[in-house]
């Protein structure tokens, strides 16, 4: 006798913070909780018209809707939920990209410190259901949340959003010609672009001509290098998909000197094009990139430059390109498993994770 189908859930997804340009993190949230991704459950995205409307919706509108629809689940994939939404307990599903609202206050804009950080701290203390984009993020959440809370992996699949998969291997590096490094991300303190500039300056000082190409809007904070950029630095600002594809095709390496990441989405996105990655030594980079990257210490630019010179000088760019493509495929395989477990969770609750202890971060 077949098991009768379970009743689909209604799932409200908080998109009240989405207006205008969509960031990479926001695109991840849209993909993870899209109606087609969560079938047969009914997904109802909630939007807002303005910042005041967003604030009212997050703190009053969503909790009011929860009272009117007591069987529904509420997903918060961007801004942290307000206290009244956290009070929904197991019906409040909080997707956590990182814990920097708690752990890196010096790297936050005043808006984040004033509005987002207090709600995030409350949610971390009293929330009961957390979904995380990496094991590194999950361990950071587990360190501050209640021991009774569920912390489950929901790693995002990384699409080839820039159309890089059909690119040939990265540009061939010829000694004596400029080594072109690409960095992607908003110009803000946590990305630590001064460290990237120092590394490229060290390459040039060591006799290896090098260029740094930065793609990303200027965010908050003071950035002295913008007033007098060195000759090897090109600031491209925002570029469209075709422009980024062209840059990936011209550059030899992707460079990240970020102080911290919850995931490091651009690192995986460019791996569709086989671009080798250079990233800081650290847990999240090791988790996400595996054996596919060259790991450096950005705080020591001369040593990092020496490692990079050895890396490109011994013919490792070709194998590194193949490793990049293999790694993003590995990651997407893990993400597919997480997505399947999450769909079961929506019907079965925490029992969906019982068959794989590695899918959750235990107390």
Regarding whether 192 and 72 lie in a shared domain, the answer is no
Strands (DSSP E) contained in 56-107 are 73-76, 92-96
Domain annotation covers residue 314: yes
* Contact (Cβ atoms closer than 8 angstroms) between residue 291 and residue 268: no
Contact residues for 7 (Cβ-Cβ < 8 A; gap 6+): none
Nearest residue to 274 (alpha-carbon basis) of 295, 244, 296, 254 = 254
For residue 102, the model assigns a pLDDT of 92
Task: State both tokens at 289.
Answer: 């990139």
- H helix runs in the chain, sequence order: 24-32, 51-56, 62-68, 83-86, 100-103, 110-111, 117-126, 135-142, 193-205, 241-250, 265-271, 283-289, 301-313, 317-348
Regarding whether 151 and 186 lie in a shared domain, the answer is no
What's the total number of domains in the chain?
2
For residue 6, the model assigns a pLDDT of 66
- Looking up residue 122, the CATH number of its domain turns out to be 3.40.50.2000
pLDDT tens-digit profile, the chain (363 residues): 334 346 788 999 999 888 777 777 888 889 999 999 998 999 999 988 899 989 998 889 899 999 999 999 999 998 999 999 999 999 999 999 999 999 988 878 888 888 999 999 999 999 999 999 999 999 999 999 999 999 999 999 999 988 999 888 777 788 889 999 999 988 888 899 999 999 999 999 999 999 999 998 888 777 888 888 999 999 999 998 889 999 998 999 999 999 988 898 999 999 999 999 999 999 999 999 999 999 999 999 999 999 999 999 877 788 888 999 999 999 999 999 999 999 999 999 999 999 888 999 999
For residue 84, the model assigns a pLDDT of 96
Regarding whether 153 and 21 lie in a shared domain, the answer is yes
Q: Is the dihedral of CA 259, 266, 15, 21 positive or negative?
A: positive
Report the alpha-carbon distance of residue 155 to residue 173 in Å, rounded. Answer: 34
Task: State both tokens at 305.
Answer: 């430059």
CB atoms within 10 A of CB 126: 15
Regarding whether 191 and 152 lie in a shared domain, the answer is no
Domain annotation covers residue 335: no
Cα 331–chain centre separation:
13
Full domain range(s) for residue 73? 10-157
For residue 3, the model assigns a pLDDT of 41
Nearest residue to 267 (alpha-carbon basis) of 287, 238, 297, 242 = 287
Domain annotation covers residue 171: no
pTM for this predicted structure: 0.89
Regarding whether 185 and 146 lie in a shared domain, the answer is no
Regarding whether 132 and 208 lie in a shared domain, the answer is no
């Amino acid at each position: 006798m077949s098991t009768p189908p379970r009743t689909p859930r209604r799932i409200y997804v908080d998109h009240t913070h989405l207006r205008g340009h969509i960031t990479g993190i926001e695109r991840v949230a849209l993909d993870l909780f899209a109606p087609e991704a969560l079938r047969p459950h009914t997904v109802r995205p909630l939007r807002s018209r303005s910042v005041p409307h967003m604030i009212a919706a997050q703190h009053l509108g969503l909790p009011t809707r929860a009272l009117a629809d007591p069987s529904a689940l509420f997903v918060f994939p961007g801004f942290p939920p307000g206290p009244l939404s956290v009070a929904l307990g197991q019906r409040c599903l909080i997707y956590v990209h990182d814990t920097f609202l708690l752990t890196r206050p010096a790297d936050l804009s005043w808006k984040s410190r004033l509005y987002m950080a207090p709600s995030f701290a409350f949610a971390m203390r009293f929330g009961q259901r957390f979904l995380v984009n990496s094991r590194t993020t999950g361990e950071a959440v587990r360190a501050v949340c209640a021991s009774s809370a569920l912390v489950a992996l929901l790693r995002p699949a990384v699409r080839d959003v820039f159309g890089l998969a059909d690119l040939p291997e990265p540009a061939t590096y010829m000694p004596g010609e400029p080594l072109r490094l690409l960095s992607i991300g908003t110009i803000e303190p946590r990305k630590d672009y001064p460290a990237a500039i120092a590394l490229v300056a060290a390459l040039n000082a060591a006799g290896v001509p090098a260029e740094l190409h930065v793609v990303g809007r200027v965010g908050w904070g003071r950035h002295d290098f913008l007033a007098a950029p060195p000759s090897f630095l090109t600031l491209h600002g925002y570029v469209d998909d075709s422009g980024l594809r062209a840059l990936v095709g011209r550059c030899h390496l992707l460079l990240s000197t970020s102080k911290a990441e919850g995931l490091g989405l651009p690192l995986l996105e460019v791996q569709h094009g086989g671009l080798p990655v250079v990233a800081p030594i650290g847990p999240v980079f090791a988790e996400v990139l595996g054996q596919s990257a060259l790991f450096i210490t950005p705080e020591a630019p001369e040593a990092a430059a020496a490692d990079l010179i050895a890396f490109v000088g011994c013919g490792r760019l070709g194998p590194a390109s193949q490793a990049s493509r293999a790694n993003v495929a590995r990651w997407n395989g893990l993400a597919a498993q997480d997505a399947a477990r999450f769909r079961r969770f929506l019907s079965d609750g925490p029992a969906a994770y019982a068959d794989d202890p590695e899918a959750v971060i235990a107390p």
